[in-house]
Amino acid sequence: MTRPLTRRELLERAALGGAALSLPAFLAACGGGNGIEGTATTTAAGTTTGGSKTLADTLTISNWTLYIDIDEETKKYPTLEQFTAETGVAVDYIEDVNDNDEWFGKNQAALSKGQAIGRDITVLTDWMAARMVRLGYVEKLDKEAIPNASNLVSALASPGWDPNREYSLPWQSGLTGIGYDPERVGGEITSISQLLEDPKLKGKVTFLTEMPDTMGLMILDGGGDPSTVAKADFDRAIERLQAGVDSGQIRQFTGNDYSGMLAKGDIWAAVGWSGDMVQLTADNPNLKFVIPDAGGMIWTDNMLIPTGGDVFTASTFMNFVYDPKVAAQIEAYVNFICPVDGAAEEIKAIDASLADNTLIFPDEATLAKVKIFDAEAADDNAYKQQFQAVIGA
Amino acid sequence: MGWLHRHRGLVPYLLLAPGLAWLALFFVVPTYYLANTSLQTGSLDAGYAFTWAWDNYADAISTYHEQFVRSLQYAGIATVAAFLVSYPLAYFIAFRGGRWKGVLLLLIIAPFFVTYLIRTLAWQTILSDSGFVVNALQTVGLLGDGDRLLATSTAVIAGITYNFLPFMALPLYVSLEQIDGRLIEAAEDLYASKVKAFLRVTLPLSLPGVFAGTLLTFIPAAGDFINAELLGTPRQSMIGNVIQSKFLVLTDYGQAAALSFTLMAAILVLIAIYTKVLGTERMGV
Amino acid sequence: MTFARRHVLTAYALLAFGYLMLPIAVVIAFSFNDPLGRFNFTWQGFTLQHWENPFGPPGLRDAIVASLQIAALASLVATILGTLVALALVRYGFRGRGLTNLLIFMPMTTPEIVMGASLLALFLNVGVATGFWTIFIAHVMFDISFVVVTVKARLAGFDRHLEEAAMDLGANPFTTFARVTLPLIAPGVAAGALLAFALSVDDFVITLFNAGSTITFPLYVWGAARVGVPPQVNVIGTMIFLVAAGLMLASVLVQTRRPKGTS
């Protein structure tokens, strides 16, 4: 696989979150030994739906943009080609997931009727994945076909909405924190409170339209725990957020268009995502990304098999990408957080400096500070309504 | 030929048939479905049921009248602004364009070739707090030192205006181009000043274009959400944003549908009034 | 006096065009940018590499081709259907005129998201697979109204006497239409077609719901925006515009002089 030289350069330049690397620290944080553990989950009895054990001719995958390695010259996907070479299954890879709600809105009508949507795998964020499982719009994975599932980092092994990982497997994770320009701000930023209260930052701050991200950080800043949201904490956070809007302290609520604003200096600090900051610092090395002292959020995009998807073929693919070598290959391009144990080791063969990057392989200190948002609260209509009212919808 | 002549009364229906059939099938049917949804209540988990939920409408109006009014306001201002920019432009192309009319018209819709998002990002660059536009305005004193253009209602309205300029300019051109230049000459020969000739001859003759242009701009602008989303703060949110949110995020399909119908009704009423005021015959209505 | 007035209009027109083209100028400028990361927000340096490799990003070419094909087809069909409706509305008396007008205005007033979703529901219920043709159907649907309103503006100012004169001279309705009416309303029809094309090539929300796996240019851009729109998008947008402008310029230069209709 050919890799553009600029990526190596840009990662060297990425000056984000300065905790030092150490492979033992990473492994400890990911809670694994050296990867291939024998845990009981590899042989769940009779959980396949349909029961077919033959591979289909084609596998159709719906994913977010730039979420898999690609050879920019030949425009082909090395990992997918490898999969096809090994299994004979052609892969139809469609990058049509832009936003969880949008994807769901588009497919809801068909799914609610139990109709297939023409996809074998789709990748959705935690709380949306939780909703899909809750509503029964997904098929169970064929765990027999995914022995490599045991490579899943233990931190992600058992989310509340899918405790035995029967329906999903993480694809990539990412962090939500604060991205800012230390020069313009004139110092360091360590908390959400600063964003809301520092008069210097008035009108120069943005938050995200994603409720789990924004409210997660707000609740943490208020001393609460977003992994189990308490109404009092949520209400208090909403009040503070509304005050920020009313006073003009918060300039806007954005999707990822905050990156443009930060790059141009229209805003000086933004609640944002780790992946974006990696790209922004390539052009402007002064920008920084921090997890607030009170804590940040970690989110995961998960592979699911929607109703009607080919379970065996999809599961085979999942097994394929959970091989540490393959995972490393994908990670070297995607640059989010890798959910596969052992990939850090493998990635050294591709690019040693990547193994050092704490945004791809976060160290223990970082992981200790981040929480996963309460999936039930994330889909609670009352909470969502309160939040939407604040962001102006 | 004889058949057509004998069945002259059928001609309008034959002309209407294909277009209306398309709309009947692909608009009316879905709209009926939407109307049905607007009277439903429920949620994703519990399911949705038809319950004659007129509350959806009552709630829609009582909770969101601010956004309704704001949407109509913004759309109205944007329409006037688009008119002021487009009329001279259309006039120029119609009367001075000569052989280049086609090219000039194409230039008007050129922005659509780069997609909405790219255009808006370009505006974000142009109107950036540290960009030349803001700096110029601050130097001249039209803008305070700490003020900005982006994330304000000005930016939202400017965005809407820009986005719908072609919808105003093209119909205006269409009407203006038809005007016989000799009529204007005649007026001037009869001692009318240029301004008077314009007001008494050109403008009235171009009214069908004005009517068309204002409708094609105002109507879609009222339902717009994207400008408010990218260029505004929560205080600029329009009814389109609410509908978007109700539908996608809150999966409250009943309310989303009710809000949509309320908006549609409001706009249709305004159109009816507007048409009456301008006079139906000349508009070909 | 006339001289000054004459140039005021030209000056104003130039300003208006400048305003219209300003964002395009920025887009073109940034197509030459050489960003180090994936975002194309701040100027880093000049390069021609994106112009050398405009279809680099995978899927971009397919998206653009799909968009142009759909737009061309949809605007063609919508223009024909819409012009016929406009003719009926302006020329003839018939029952149901009010209802027809309502039917023409309503699609424009409907928020795109609910229209897109409702149309999708229809396709699902009927069992039609979403994709290229459902996008086409949707685009024709909302284009018709815009064509009707635009062509009506032209027809409203139309001088019927010309048609009557032609018929008096022995032309039948078809010939009259083809030789007299159509050429005179051509600018209106062309303008309607242009609007329909623009609407179609830029549509996002309705297309999103009814696209299936087809990706159109706006869908592609929205997807890419999440991680950084590649400068090639700027290049493609500029290229399309230049090609279209070039074609029109060529047609102007090639055109033989023909006496115009009325003016």
Residue A9's pLDDT is 39
Of A249, A266, A267, which to mutate for an interface test with B (greatest number of B Cβ within 10 Å)?
Answer: A266
CA triplet C79, C148, B16: central angle to 5 degrees?
85
Phi, psi of C132 (to 5 degrees): -50, -50
Q: Do A251 and B233 touch (CB under 8 A)?
A: yes
Helix (H) or strand (E) holding B243: helix B239-244
* Interchain contact A65–B (C-beta under 8 A): no
A21 backbone φψ class: left, alpha, beta (φ>0; ψ -120 to 50): beta
- Please name the residues in contact with C232: beta carbons below 8 A apart, sequence gap of 6 or more: C31, C50, C53, C54, C55, C56, C57, C60
Chains A and B: how many Cβ contacts under 8 Å? 77
Token pair for B154: 């000005």
Residue B76's pLDDT is 96
pLDDT-flagged residues of chain B (< 70): 1-5, 280-285
Q: Which of C85, C111, C153 sits opposite B15 (nearest CB)?
A: C85
Chains touching A (3+ CB pairs < 8 Å) = B, C
The ipTM value here is 0.86
Token pair for C179: 């030789």
DSSP A330-364: HHHHH-SB--BTTHHHHHHHH-HHHHH-TTTS--H
Q: Hey, what's the torsion of the CAs at C60, C62, C66, C69, to 10 degrees?
A: 110
- Block residue for tokens 């083809």: C178
Q: Do A388 and B245 touch (CB under 8 A)?
A: yes
Q: Which of B130, B151, B246 sits opposite A251 (nearest CB)?
A: B151
3-class SS of residue A304: strand
Q: Do B112 and C201 touch (CB under 8 A)?
A: yes
Phi, psi of A207 (to 5 degrees): -120, 170
* Interchain contact A157–C (C-beta under 8 A): no
One-letter-per-residue 3-state SS of B116-175 = HHHHHHHHHHHCCCCCHHHHHHHHHCCCCCCCCCCCCHHHHHHHHHHHHHHHHHHHHHHH
Q: Do B130 and A203 touch (CB under 8 A)?
A: no
Instruction: Note the Cα B197 to chain centre separation in Å.
Output: 29
Q: Which residues in chain B are closer than 8 Å to C158, comparing Cβ atoms? A: 178
Residue A39's pLDDT is 32
Residue A276's pLDDT is 81
3-class SS of residue C95: coil
CA distance B232 to chain A (A): 7
3-class SS of residue C259: coil
Instruction: Find the mean pLDDT for residues C176-196.
Output: 89
Residue A40's pLDDT is 32
Q: Do B165 and C245 touch (CB under 8 A)?
A: no
Q: Which of A76, A260, A278 sits opposite C41 (nearest CB)?
A: A260
- Please name the residues in contact with A374: beta carbons below 8 A apart, sequence gap of 6 or more: A160, A226, A227, A228, A229
CA distance C206 to chain A (A): 10
Residue A267's pLDDT is 92
Residue C235's pLDDT is 86
Contact B56, B247 (CB under 8 A): no
Of B245, B246, B252, B259, which to mutate for an interface test with A (greatest number of A Cβ within 10 Å)?
Answer: B245
Chain C interface residues facing chain A, Cβ-Cβ under 8 Å?
35-39, 41-42, 44, 56-59, 113, 117, 120-121, 124, 208-209, 211-213, 215, 219, 222-228
Q: Which residues in chain C are closer than 8 Å to B126, comparing Cβ atoms? A: 22-23, 26
Question: Quick one: pLDDT band at residue A18, thresholds 50, 70, 90?
Answer: very low
Enumerate long-range contacts of A226-233, CB under 8 Å, 24 or more apart.
Answer: A226/A297, A226/A371, A226/A373, A226/A374, A226/A377, A227/A371, A227/A372, A227/A373, A227/A374, A228/A374, A229/A373, A229/A374, A229/A377, A229/A383
Question: What count of residues does chain B have?
Answer: 285
Contact A59, A27 (CB under 8 A): no
Picking from A247-261, A357-371, B32-46, B82-96, which range would have the lowest pLDDT averaged per residue?
A357-371
Q: How far apart are CA B74 and CA B69, in angstroms?
A: 9
Q: Which residues in chain C are closer than 8 Å to A92, comparing Cβ atoms? A: 213
Number of other CB atoms surrounding residue A136 within 10 Å: 12
Residue A190's pLDDT is 93
Residue C3's pLDDT is 67
Residue C196's pLDDT is 94
Distances (CA, A) of C238 to C138, C244, C252: 26, 10, 21
A191-246 pLDDT tens trace: 999 999 999 999 999 999 999 999 999 999 999 999 899 999 999 999 999 999 99
Token pair for A176: 């939500």
Question: Quick one: pLDDT band at residue A41, thresholds 50, 70, 90?
Answer: very low
